[in-house]
Structure 1
Amino acid sequence: MNEGRLATYRRMRDFERTAEPRGDGTTGTGDRFVVQRHRARRRHYDLRLEFDGALLSWAVPKGPTLDPAVRRMAVQVEDHPLEYADFEGTIPAGEYGGGDVIVWDRGTWTPGEDDTAAALEAGTLHFELRGEKLRGRFVLVRRGEKQWLLLHKRDEHAEDGWDPEQHPRSVKSGRTNEEVAADPEAMWRGDLPADQAEIRLRPSWEPPSDSELAELEGLKSKGTWNLQGHRISLTNLDKVLFPGRDGEEPITKRELVAYHARIAPVMLPYLAGRALNSHRFPNGVDSPGFWHKQAPSHAPDWLSTWEYPGADADDVQRYIVPDSPAALAWLANYAALELHPWTSPTSDVEHPSWALFDIDPGERTSFDEVLTLARLHRAAMDHLGVVAKPKVTGQRGIQIWVPIEPRYTYAETRAWVEKVSRAVGNTVPELVSWAWTKTERHGLARLDYTQNVLNKTLVAPYSARPRPGAPVSVPLEWDELDDPDLTPDRWTIRTVLDRVTTTGDPFADLLNHPQPLPPI
Structure 2
Amino acid sequence: MNEGRLATYRQKRDFERTAEPRGESATGTGDRFVVQRHRARRKHYDLRLEFDGALLSWAVPKGPTLDPSVRRMAVQVEDHPLEYADFEGTIPAGEYGGGDVIVWDRGTWTPGEDDPAAALEAGTLHFELHGEKLRGRFVLVRRGEKQWLLLHKRDEHAEDGWDPEQHPVSVKSGRTNEEVAAAPEAMWRGDLPADRAEIRLRPNWDPPTDAELDELERLKTKGTWELQGHRISLTNLDKVLFPGLDGEEPITKRELVAYHARIAPVMLPYLADRALNSHRFPNGVDSPGFWHKEAPSHAPDWLRTWEYPGADDDDVKRYIVPDSPAALAWLANYAALELHPWTSPIDDVEHPTWALFDIDPGEQTSFDDVLTLARLHRAAMEHLGVVAKPKVTGQRGVQIWVPIEPRYTYAETRAWAEKVSRAVGNTVPELVSWSWAKSERRGLARLDYTQNVLNKTLVAPYSARPRPGAPVSVPLEWDELDDPDLTPDRWTIRTVLDRLATTGDPFADLVGHRQPLPPV
What TM bracket, shorter-length normalisation? 0.7 to 0.9
**Distance in 2 (alpha carbons) for counterparts of 1:432 and 1:394:** 21
Please show how residues 97-176 of structure 1 align to structure 2 within 5 Å. 97-109=97-109, 127-140=127-140, 145-152=145-152, 156-176=156-176
**How far apart are 1:506 and its partner, in Å?**
2.7
Aligned-pair CA distance for 1:283: 1.9
On the 8 A contact 2:35/2:103 being kept in 1, the answer is: yes
The structural deviation recorded for 1:221 is 1.4
Distance 2:477 2:236 in 1: 38
Q: Is the 8 A contact 1:34 1:103 kept in 2?
A: yes
Instruction: Say which is worse superposed, 450-459 or 179-188, in terms of deviation.
Output: 179-188
Q: 1:76 to 1:434 in 2, by over 3 A?
A: farther
Residue 447 (structure 1) aligns with: 447
Q: Structure 1 residue 259: deviation in Å?
A: 1.2
Q: TM-score scaled to structure 2, two decimals? A: 0.88
The alpha-carbon deviation at position 445 of structure 1 amounts to: 2.7
Quote the offset at 1:501 in angstroms. Answer: 3.9
Deviation at 1:414, TM superposition (A): 0.7
Indicate if the aligned counterparts of 2:353 and 2:403 stay in contact, CA closer than 8 A. Answer: yes
3-state SS, counterpart of residue 178 of structure 1: helix
Q: Does the CA contact (< 8 Å) of 1:245 and 1:469 recur in 2?
A: yes
Q: Distance in 1 between matches of 2:306 and 2:323?
A: 12
User: 413-422 or 128-137, which moves further after superposition?
Assistant: 128-137
Distance 1:433 1:249, change over 3 A: same
Farther off after superposition, 68-77 or 486-495: 68-77
Mark the CA change 1:350 to 1:215 in structure 2 (over 3 Å): closer, same or farther: same
* Most deviating of 482-491 and 144-153: 144-153
Deviation at residue 298 of structure 1 after TM alignment:
4.0
Q: Deviations over 1:97-129 (max 9, x none)?
A: 233322212344456678766765676655554
Aligned residue for 1:244, secondary structure, equals coil
CA deviations 1:26-82 (Å, max 9, x no partner) are 666665432111123432211223455533322222322233454444332212234
Query: Shift in Å at residue 269 of structure 1?
Result: 2.4
Query: For the structure 1 residues 124 and 486, does the alpha-carbon distance in structure 2 shift closer, same or farther, using more than 3 Å as the test?
Result: farther
Instruction: Please report how far the alpha carbon of residue 462 of structure 1 lies from its aligned counterpart in structure 2 after TM superposition.
Output: 1.2
Contact 1:87 1:189 in 2 (8 A): no
Q: Which residue of 2 aligns with 1:406?
A: 406
Deviation at 1:264, TM superposition (A): 2.0
TM-superposition CA deviations, 1:119-167 (whole Å, max 9, x none): 6567665555443322345454556554444444555544333221211
Q: Distance in 2 between matches of 1:353 and 1:404?
A: 5
Cα 1:379–1:157 change in 2 (3 A) is farther
**CA separation in 2, counterparts of 1:98 and 1:351?**
26
Q: 1:10 to 1:313 in 2, by over 3 A?
A: closer
* 387-396 vs 76-85, greater mean Cα deviation: 76-85
Give the distance between the partners of 2:117 and 2:318, measured in 1 at CA. Answer: 68
- Alpha carbons 1:432, 1:446 under 8 Å: kept: yes
> Structure 1 residues 192 and 7, CA, compared in 2 at 3 Å: closer, same or farther?
closer
Q: 1:50 to 1:468 in 2, by over 3 A?
A: same
Q: Is 1:88 aligned to residue 88 of structure 2?
A: yes
**Residues 26 and 257 (structure 1), Cα distance of their counterparts in 2 relative to 1, 3 Å cut:** closer
Task: Report the Cα distance in structure 2 between the residues aligned to 1:20 and 1:53, rounded to whole angstroms.
Answer: 17
CA 1:395–1:25 in 2, change beyond 3 Å: closer, same or farther?
closer
1:453, distance to aligned residue in structure 2 (A):
1.6
Q: Aligned with 1:346: secondary structure?
A: coil
Is the 8 Å Cα contact of residues 5 and 54 (structure 2) preserved in structure 1? yes
Distance in 1 of aligned mates of 2:490 and 2:74:
36
Change (3 A) 1:150 1:383: farther
Deviation digits for residues 343-376 of structure 1 (CA, Å, limit 9, x no counterpart): 2233333322211011223344343443333233
1:307 CA drift (Å): 3.9
The CA deviation at 1:204 is: 3.8
The answer to whether the Cα contact below 8 Å between 2:23 and 2:194 also exists between their aligned partners in 1 is: no
Where does the alignment leave 5 or more consecutive residues of structure 1 unmatched? none
Question: Helix, strand or coil for the counterpart of 2:141?
Answer: strand
Structure 1 residues 366 and 59: alpha-carbon distance in aligned structure 2, compared to 1, 3 A threshold? farther
Secondary structure of the 2:9 match is helix
> Secondary structure at the residue paired with 2:265?
helix
* Distance of aligned partners of 1:144 and 1:422 in 2 relative to their CA distance in 1, 3 Å threshold: farther
Measure how far apart 1:242 and its partner are: 0.9
The match for 1:303 is: 303
**Contact map agreement 1:88 1:190 (CA 8 A) in 2:** no
Distance 1:474 1:121, change over 3 A: same
| 2:384–2:518 Cα contact (<8 Å) kept | yes
Aligned partner of residue 158 in structure 2, secondary structure: coil
- Are the equivalent residues in 1 in contact too, given 2:272–2:321 (CA < 8 A)? yes
SS at match of 1:20: coil
Asked whether the equivalents of residues 90 and 188 of structure 1 are also in contact (C-alpha less than 8 Å), the reply is no
Q: 1:130 to 1:506 in 2, by over 3 A?
A: same
SS of alignment partner, residue 73 of structure 1: strand
Q: Structure 1's 141 and 276: CA in aligned 2 closer, same or farther, altered over 3 A?
A: same
Whether the 8 Å CA contact 2:359–2:397 is kept in 1: the answer is yes
Aligned to 1:396: 396
Moved more, 354-363 or 291-300: 291-300
Question: Greater CA deviation, 118-127 or 271-280?
Answer: 118-127
CA displacement, residues 175-200 of structure 1 (integer Å, 9 cap, x when unaligned)? 43344334444336899999998643
**CA distance in 2: counterparts of 1:132 and 1:326, whole angstroms:** 36
Distance 1:490 1:146, change over 3 A: farther
Shift of 1:460: 0.8
Alpha-carbon shift at residue 509 of structure 1 (Å) = 2.6
Shift of 1:491: 1.9
Deviation at 1:341, TM superposition (A): 1.5
Contact 2:18–2:189 (Cα < 8 Å) also in 1: no
How has the CA–CA distance of structure 1 residues 111 and 369 changed in structure 2, closer, same or farther, with 3 Å as cutoff?
Answer: farther
Mark the runs of 5 or more structure 2 residues left unpaired by the alignment: none
What is the root-mean-square deviation in Å for CA atoms of aligned residues? 3.3
C-alpha contact 1:357 1:448 (8 A) present in aligned 2? yes
Q: Write the distance in 2 (CA, Å) between the matches of 1:96 and 1:8.
A: 12
Contact 2:359 2:399 in 1 (8 A): yes
Q: Structure 1 residues 420 and 289 mapped into 2: Cα distance closer, same or farther (>3 Å)? A: same
Q: Over residues 248-304 of structure 1, what are the superposed CA-to-partner deviations in whole Å (9 max), with x where a residue is unaligned?
A: 211101110111122223222222332222222222112222223333444444434
Structure 1 distance, partners of 2:443, 2:143, is: 55
Partner-residue secondary structure (3-state), 2:430: coil
Query: Identity rate of aligned residues, in percent?
Result: 92
Secondary structure of 1:258's match?
helix
Distance 1:4 1:482, change over 3 A: farther
Farther-moved stretch of structure 1 (438-447 vs 388-397): 438-447
Residues 147, 307 of structure 1: alpha-carbon distance in 2 compared, 3 angstrom cutoff = same
Change (3 A) 1:324 1:5: closer
Over 3 Å counting, the alpha-carbon distance change for 1:173 and 1:514 in structure 2 is same
Q: Tell me how many residue pairs correspond in the alignment.
A: 520
Is residue 73–residue 150 contact of structure 1 (8 Å, CA) maintained in 2? yes
Q: 1:367 to 1:280 in 2, by over 3 A?
A: same
Distance verdict in 2 for CA 1:476–1:449, change over 3 Å: same
Farther off after superposition, 99-108 or 135-144: 135-144
**Post-superposition shift, 1:202?**
4.6
Give 1:23 deviation, angstroms: 3.3
